Structure 1
Amino acid sequence: MCAAGGTFGTLRVVWPFVGRVRELEDVMSALTSGNGAALVGPAGVGKTRLTDEVVARLERSGLAVRRCCATVATSAIPFGAMAAMLPADLRTANPLGRAVEHLLSEQPPLVIVVDDAHLLDDASIALLHHVIRHGHARVLVTSRPGERMELWQEGLLRRCPLGDLSRAESDLLLERALGDPVDTRSASLLWSASAGNPLYLRELVVFGRAVGALRADDGIWSWHGPIELGGRLAELVQSNLGRLEPSHRHALELLAYSEPVELDLLAALVCEEALDDLETRGLIRVVPSGRRTVVRLGDPLYGSLLRATCPTLRARAHQRALATALEATGARRREDLMRIATWRLDGGSPTSVTLLAEAAEQAWAAQDVTLAERLCRAAVEAGGLSRVGHVFGQVLMHGHEPSQAEATLADVMAGPLSAEDLSHLAATRAMNLHFGLGDADTAAATLDAADTPGLPADVHDWLQVVRVILDAQHHHVATVLERSYRPVAPHLSVHMRRTRALCLLHAGRYREVAREITAYEALEDPAGPDDGALRMHCFALAFAGRLAEAEALALTMYDRPFDDLAFTGATSLYSVLSFCARMRGNGTQALRMAREGSPKSRTGPLIFDAIALANLAVAAAISGDTTLAQQSLARAEKARRPAWRLTGTTVSVTRSWVLASTGDIRAAADTAMAAANECAELGAHGSEAMALHDAARYGVDTSTRLTALTTTMDDPMTRAYASHATALAHAAPTALETTATDFQRIGATLYAAEALAAATRLHRTQGNARAASQASARQALLMRDFDGVHTPVLHAGDLTHLTRRQTEVAHLATSGLTNQQIAGRLHTSKRTVDNHLHAIYGVLGVTGRDELRAVLGPSRTS
């Protein structure tokens, strides 16, 4: 995808060749069935790296390859670029003929490869024309678009365009090059900054590692701080910008401080001809955005370079001009106040407290935490603490500074305020006290003190809503659920519905969660279900056994801009994705997701942090990393607060997984039962069912309690839990095999494999060797797709393994293919397939395909 490596000081990043499959095949096809190809793309897109791969293939096939590179220096010299492959003396009456004659003396067939063909001199172009037209050689050239395109415009070469990397390709390239995964935020940042250009991406990584901005922590690479230019990267970006006329630089600098910006706004500040020229050169892009037309820089790194090289006074003047121009339009859009306030601050012009406060509220509503904090701090410095206190408190809490948030809110509330303003601040302070500091009693007292007679009805209702929100973490689920139905002002009912959905989730009434969230659409809320509600829906789907739906919904949110996720608790999404990966037996993916979602701050834990750390402990336990599991559990215990009783049950359920990973099954069973009882006392039946199932897996008979829970928890996962516990309690291997099918149907293959492992042992104990062999084979086939999973219930030594080839044959046989078709698929003989099937039947104790399908189940192989 890009050049083979990059260096910065003593660091080196070696870049593998990944992706570009279609482009590679197109070029090879053009070289093997035609005159050749022209690989066309902008600078840094990976033309040379792809050409390297093509040349390697050609040479492995025995073809003679002659390669050269055109440069600016050789562009004015006849045959300058191709001098190395031509005789030293071409001073004849017919130098072109002499050059062709020399090339024909090469061992045929010959392939000529020219890098940067847009810089070729005329004589070299004439030589390539001649050899292509007369079939003397095949030719591969690389070129930038829009320059010296005669070779393919005339149909002599097949034009093969090469574009930028997709996000998936960029992520894969980063992981292969660095050896470990890159966290989602950093991968998104690097892809956006490089605009999918592999050369820029490589230089960003090289520079980032050199200065310490890109570093690994717990096996995950992360970028720290803003993207800055330096080293060779700055030179490359400057080279692509080229020499700029003053009017062009003026336009680009304005855009660097404002993109994306409305075309009309930018056109009011620069001449139209400059914009036309810049668009033609690809230095800016004019794109539709809803009903507007906006302008962006051709590459995000242009903005970094322009801002870094723009003199301070000129930069401030640019931003004042932008603010004035936007104010002249009326600043009608929601984000306009945020932009004006930011430009005023950066431009050094006077900014009113009113503007800062309104802009801070808009930034907070838009989930831009960083900007909201900056605007709040500016307002406080200007003496406007009372105007932004309610926003500033929330910003500080979400920034893992709940103690500072409490101090700030206390200061604001000590000032002269109306009862209404005091109530709004009290609500914010109570949430910080509860969710940030874990102080339920003081939070409740704060609300009580603010709820004075004479408050407007909607303010009183808001205080009631906040009480219910706080109680949902502290009191019995049924009690809070009943209170969530109390009538409140229509615009506040969305908060009651979200709390109600949370209670239903804790209660294990997963279908009702979905119905409650769907009811958002009936409210007068144009935004529809908020992210908090959708995250609860993800959990409800996952815990109910609808894993594929849970993953699909989580991934749609996971792919949103990282700032949005950070604002709304992205840890929940990582927990859902980690849970689903765990259920599928993919321990490596589960641990990766859990690590990404784990809190990076070691101070000021929030309620989400306890969930994330507990999730990390389970993922580490199932992956066999007992040290990380114990450390994460200890951090989760430390982060846990008495006020977070419902969330605390997640930590309690986690303990048994960690103990089991150390081999202490008896303690794991006792701990799982204690967690189940804790959950039952709070009405958290969803977590209770999970804990009871864990206890059953470790040898405790919990079948009666789990069966009773299925009367109110009508979901596939809980029913499978109950069936599993019942089959284990009755030592019924056939029932365990049926349970394994139930788990497999919903995608929980980890538990399916565990059920089959238990069935195998029971069949052997009961003297049924054939049934034991069949159950063990099913388990082995399920675990064939597992990755990095360790549980005490699974014992690899008990498996009756088929060989890899026998496994392939068995899967193909159960898919309905004939022996001849299987032989064709595996590129072997029918007789070999016959022998494999005979051996498989003997191992499993079956007599034909029907019994094989009954034992193994239908194959997923098409």
Structure 2
Amino acid sequence: MRLDRLPAYNSPMVLRWPLIPRGDEIGASSRGPSRGVVIVGPTGAGKTTLARTIASSARPTRLWAAGSESTRRIPLGAFAHLIEIDATVDPATAFANARSTLGGRGDTALIVDDADLLDPLSAALVGRLLEDGDVHLVVTVGSVETGPDPAIVADGLLDRIDLAPFARDEAYRVLESALDGPLDRVSAQWMWEISEGNPLYLRHLVEGSWESGLLFQIGGVWQLESRPVMTDELATLLVSRLPTADQEVMDVLWLLAFAGDLDVGVLARAASRDAVAEARRGGHLWIGSDATPRVVRLRHPIVGEALRERTPVLAARSLRGRLVRALAAGPTAGEELRMATLALDADVDLDAALLVDASERALALCDYPLAERLAQAALLGGCGLRAAVVLARAMTWQGRAGEADVLLGTFDPVAVPEYERLAWGLWRATTYFFDNRQDAARRELDGLREHATSRDGLEVLSSADVTFDFFANNVPRSIELTRTLFGAENTSALAMSFAASTGGFALARAGHTDEVPDIVERGVAAATGTGFLLGRMQIGVAEVSAATLSGNLAGVLEMLDRYSIATPPGRSRWVVDGYIHGLAYLATGRVAAAEEHFRRGRAAAVNGGPRMWVVLCSIGLCQALGAQGRTEQAIEALDYAEESFGEHLATFGPDLSHARAWIVAGCGEHREAIRVARDAAVLAREGSMFGIEAMALHTAVRFGDRSATARLRRLMRLVDGPFVRVASAHAHALRNRDGHGLDSVAAEFEAMSANLLAADAAAQAAMEHNRCGDSLGERRSAATARRLAAECPGARTPALSVLENPMALTGRERVVAALVATGMTNREIAERLTLSVRTVEGHVHRVLAKLGVDDREALVDRQYRRD
């Protein structure tokens, strides 16, 4: 199974644009004894749709009139289709006839769309109809201030509805409803920022991007290849409304279209102060508040997009060149990245040193495509090894380690400063490692260590060992090196920022979660100080993993906020963000939300990211889908994880096996699922990842394993946090068929905020109470399980499935069960039913699981009491 892109041009798009959710506004229109409503909002805000909805609910008969540029000079032109107007009749008589025709109809709602474009006589007619009160009026205007007649909204005769654009989350919901699937957050943010939440603009951005081949799907998640483009229809409309006659003002608008936010002084150097002032008076600009008093931008971002799309290539290069020269003419602190980005497509050349500075800044901001372009330009400009290292890093972070290795191999850094040689060698070792060439990576590090003379350099090399050892499944050594680095005084901030994420992750997976908070705190401070923003986010993986593996879930969702504030702007942010949110939601039982976040993270990683994140998000997605009983989709997720797996990710072998156990359980093979989960636990134990082992063993318990008590008790001495203690109690109560003990376990898991674990324990308690004939206990436990499951939308674990369908045996299963009850062996049953022995074994396993019994003898003793 591949997650290949589905490009726009392969098939026509069928958008399912939803009815704009304006329930509150519709409700407001029905309050009080008013004679109708006036809906105020900008073009594209949905005024017409809302007007139709309100009118249809107000009166059985509806009439429609609309103002327009073509009719505003014709007396009563908006109503010409509703009334007979004799050209020989004077305006006063025509007005009286119109009033008589339209008035006196109490069962009628009159919609007057775009009332600010009515001719004066039509506007006066609307005012008189309002005074008469015989017709229910529904009026839309762009703004009350520009409307033709203040009387339309005077004296409270019409209820006023101000139709605001969509807020960010509302826009996201509308977009995903229209696309019939999730949209990645970078794309959604682009569309919301450019459209400012205007429904019309949102639609034209989606349709324009689709038509241009920029919008595609990866693994069910929609993404944009680059910033969205609008339809030609909308671009033409927006540009037609600009003051094209005033070329100096248009010049200002064009410059801002390519610059975005800009210092007023820089804009004045690129254009002229008078032109900037005139553009501001015309209402085209936004000037900063007290916090940013000198910043200026276009009042509506969509206008900038339209102008850029309508600008010829050579003219665009000239405009960017003017901006670069204006920026260079003044203080440039903080503007290097903007200047370099503009210069890439401008009629001006920049110094290669400035380009490589900018590429490093883009790399720090995790904008890897931009960093690659800038570094490539710097390399062509003669910047050499430094540019090559930045370019290699950008390539590697986009999943192209092989290309990065080829590039670095063209350099021989002999006569260069030590820090440049270290940077070159360290990144070459990284490309080796993540290209499944571990021995070469180790040799490269050893060679660097022989020539390193500074303590900082040696510590950075040790931080690389922390990472390589962790991923190569040598978790104990990774932890040892982490403790050494963080235990020493004055450790290099760069080394700590590199080591904190993988070292903290290693500690969490090994069960040493109590050590993680200190590592996280110091690592975040170091990463922030060095500008390593992605490292700061990756440290969040360690912290969230420690919380989920230890069972300290009370503040895990608040913990996520620390890694969502001031985070990098690119898709790399959403890879990590999706993964840590998925972990948190999976642990708290919100499996549908976990699925969504893992999908988003995986899609962002597939679209040019390290394969590690593809594997991790696919594993998480498999577990989230497995916990919902969606086996086929879980199989697809696991297939993709296995396809992207390699020796450089050996440490996640137990996670792959753990995910596979959920698939087997979803197929109804509960005994086999237990075996696979226990195999995952063995793999984790062999790698000294005792936190992962405890989690896998507990999954086996959730599937019905009654043999995990002893090992979970031993793990209580090795794993920090309350989870392993409650998991051990769960295994003990299940082994002893202790329904009341399972009830207590459910209560402890619920107090821990692990609602799905609690629901499974309560479901198992109900089955044990049933076995003992305790109907009251069964009802109570079942009610608890259902209440907890309701907190986990979509959840359908094996325990919950048995609770809801305790006797859901198929016809063939009933026959097999009856033959087992007579004492027949599997081979005898196979011969009787003309089946293979393996098929009969599968039927027997499913019957035992569904009936909640352990073996054939228990099945015979039960004698099908429920039948």
Q: 2:456 aligns with which of 458, 465, 481?
A: 458
- Give the structure 1 partner of residue 72 of structure 2: 75
CA distance, structure 1, for counterparts of residue 282 and residue 94 of structure 2? 37
CA gap 1:359/1:491 in 2 versus in 1, 3 angstroms: same
CA gap 1:636/1:101 in 2 versus in 1, 3 angstroms: closer
CA gap 1:242/1:116 in 2 versus in 1, 3 angstroms: farther
> Do the aligned partners of 2:501 and 2:541 also contact (CA within 8 Å) in 1?
no
> Do the aligned partners of 1:18 and 1:172 also contact (CA within 8 Å) in 2?
no
> Do the aligned partners of 2:366 and 2:568 also contact (CA within 8 Å) in 1?
no
CA gap 1:787/1:494 in 2 versus in 1, 3 angstroms: closer
**2:42 maps to 1:42:** yes
CA distance, structure 2, for counterparts of residue 591 and residue 195 of structure 1? 29
After superposition, where does 1:537-548 map in structure 2 within 5 Å?
537-547=543-553
Per-residue Cα deviation, 1:753-787 (whole angstroms, up to 9, x for no partner) = 22122112211222222222222232233334544
> Do the aligned partners of 1:208 and 1:214 also contact (CA within 8 Å) in 2?
yes
- Secondary structure in 2 aligned to 1:85? coil
After superposition, where does 1:674-713 map in structure 2 within 5 Å?
674-698=679-703, 699-713=705-719
- Give the structure 2 partner of residue 403 of structure 1: 402
- Identity over aligned residues, as a percent? 26
CA distance, structure 2, for counterparts of residue 556 and residue 18 of structure 1? 33
**2:611 maps to 1:575:** no
> Do the aligned partners of 1:641 and 1:648 also contact (CA within 8 Å) in 2?
no
CA distance, structure 1, for counterparts of residue 658 and residue 127 of structure 2? 74
With a CA cutoff of 8 Å and minimum separation of 6, indicate the structure with the bigger relative contact order. Answer: 2
**Which residue identity does 1:423 align to in structure 2?**
L
CA gap 1:24/1:716 in 2 versus in 1, 3 angstroms: farther
- Give the structure 2 partner of residue 597 of structure 1: 601
TM-score (norm 2): 0.84
CA distance, structure 1, for counterparts of residue 805 and residue 630 of structure 2? 23
- Give the structure 1 partner of residue 677 of structure 2: 672
- Give the structure 1 partner of residue 174 of structure 2: 173
> Do the aligned partners of 1:551 and 1:576 also contact (CA within 8 Å) in 2?
no
CA distance, structure 2, for counterparts of residue 580 and residue 103 of structure 1? 62
CA gap 1:522/1:626 in 2 versus in 1, 3 angstroms: closer
CA distance, structure 2, for counterparts of residue 650 and residue 510 of structure 1? 18
- Secondary structure in 1 aligned to 2:74? coil
CA gap 1:793/1:410 in 2 versus in 1, 3 angstroms: same
TM-score (norm 1): 0.84
- Give the structure 2 partner of residue 17 of structure 1: 19
- Give the structure 2 partner of residue 827 of structure 1: none
Please say which of residues 789-798 and 752-761 is displaced more in the overlay: 789-798
> Do the aligned partners of 1:616 and 1:632 also contact (CA within 8 Å) in 2?
yes
> Do the aligned partners of 2:190 and 2:227 also contact (CA within 8 Å) in 1?
no
Per-residue Cα deviation, 1:185-222 (whole angstroms, up to 9, x for no partner) = 33223222322110011122233344543344544333
CA distance, structure 2, for counterparts of residue 222 and residue 184 of structure 1? 9
**Which residue identity does 1:709 align to in structure 2?**
L
> Do the aligned partners of 2:76 and 2:119 also contact (CA within 8 Å) in 1?
yes
**2:367 maps to 1:368:** yes
CA gap 1:558/1:50 in 2 versus in 1, 3 angstroms: farther
- Give the structure 2 partner of residue 296 of structure 1: 297
CA distance, structure 2, for counterparts of residue 604 and residue 782 of structure 1? 37
- Secondary structure in 2 aligned to 1:99? helix
CA distance, structure 1, for counterparts of residue 440 and residue 178 of structure 2? 51
CA gap 1:280/1:623 in 2 versus in 1, 3 angstroms: farther
**Which residue identity does 1:677 align to in structure 2?**
V
**Which residue identity does 2:408 align to in structure 1?**
L
Q: 1:727 aligns with which of 723, 733, 736?
A: 733
- Secondary structure in 2 aligned to 1:139? strand
- Give the structure 2 partner of residue 531 of structure 1: 537
- Give the structure 2 partner of residue 143 of structure 1: 141
- Give the structure 2 partner of residue 737 of structure 1: 743
CA distance, structure 1, for counterparts of residue 656 and residue 641 of structure 2? 7
CA distance, structure 2, for counterparts of residue 738 and residue 722 of structure 1? 12
Per-residue Cα deviation, 1:211-268 (whole angstroms, up to 9, x for no partner) = 5433445443333344223342323333444645211221111111111111221122
CA gap 1:785/1:497 in 2 versus in 1, 3 angstroms: closer
**Which residue identity does 1:549 align to in structure 2?**
G
- Give the structure 1 partner of residue 321 of structure 2: 320
CA distance, structure 2, for counterparts of residue 535 and residue 689 of structure 1? 19
> Do the aligned partners of 1:438 and 1:642 also contact (CA within 8 Å) in 2?
yes
Per-residue Cα deviation, 1:308-352 (whole angstroms, up to 9, x for no partner) = 32233332222222112111212112xx11222223332232332
CA distance, structure 2, for counterparts of residue 390 and residue 460 of structure 1? 19
**Which residue identity does 2:510 align to in structure 1?**
A
**2:448 maps to 1:446:** no
- Secondary structure in 2 aligned to 1:71? coil
> Do the aligned partners of 1:360 and 1:372 also contact (CA within 8 Å) in 2?
yes
Gap runs ≥5 in structure 2: 1-9, 808-867
After superposition, where does 1:319-338 map in structure 2 within 5 Å?
319-333=320-334, 336-338=335-337
CA distance, structure 2, for counterparts of residue 586 and residue 558 of structure 1? 19
Per-residue Cα deviation, 1:775-814 (whole angstroms, up to 9, x for no partner) = 223223333454433332222564699xxxxxxxxxxxxx
- Secondary structure in 2 aligned to 1:392? helix
Per-residue Cα deviation, 1:330-383 (whole angstroms, up to 9, x for no partner) = 2112xx112222233322323322122122112112222121100111122233
After superposition, where does 1:453-492 map in structure 2 within 5 Å?
453=451, 455-474=453-472, 476-484=474-482, 485-486=484-485, 487=488, 489-492=491-494
- Secondary structure in 2 aligned to 1:795? helix
**Which residue identity does 2:17 align to in structure 1?**
W
CA gap 1:328/1:364 in 2 versus in 1, 3 angstroms: same
CA distance, structure 2, for counterparts of residue 453 and residue 252 of structure 1? 56
- Give the structure 2 partner of residue 620 of structure 1: 625
- Give the structure 2 partner of residue 287 of structure 1: 288
CA gap 1:721/1:558 in 2 versus in 1, 3 angstroms: same
- Give the structure 2 partner of residue 852 of structure 1: none
CA gap 1:401/1:350 in 2 versus in 1, 3 angstroms: same
CA distance, structure 2, for counterparts of residue 772 and residue 11 of structure 1? 52
Query: Cα offset for 1:736?
Result: 0.6
**Which residue identity does 2:459 align to in structure 1?**
D
**2:767 maps to 1:768:** no
CA distance, structure 2, for counterparts of residue 537 and residue 454 of structure 1? 32
CA distance, structure 2, for counterparts of residue 420 and residue 101 of structure 1? 89
CA gap 1:242/1:24 in 2 versus in 1, 3 angstroms: farther
> Do the aligned partners of 1:152 and 1:159 also contact (CA within 8 Å) in 2?
no
**Which residue identity does 2:224 align to in structure 1?**
W
CA gap 1:580/1:482 in 2 versus in 1, 3 angstroms: closer
Q: 1:84 aligns with which of 81, 91, 94?
A: 81
CA gap 1:770/1:596 in 2 versus in 1, 3 angstroms: same
CA distance, structure 2, for counterparts of residue 523 and residue 420 of structure 1? 19
CA gap 1:513/1:236 in 2 versus in 1, 3 angstroms: farther
After superposition, where does 1:115-154 map in structure 2 within 5 Å?
115-145=113-143, 146-148=145-147, 150-151=150-151, 154=154
CA distance, structure 1, for counterparts of residue 298 and residue 387 of structure 2? 34
CA gap 1:261/1:190 in 2 versus in 1, 3 angstroms: same
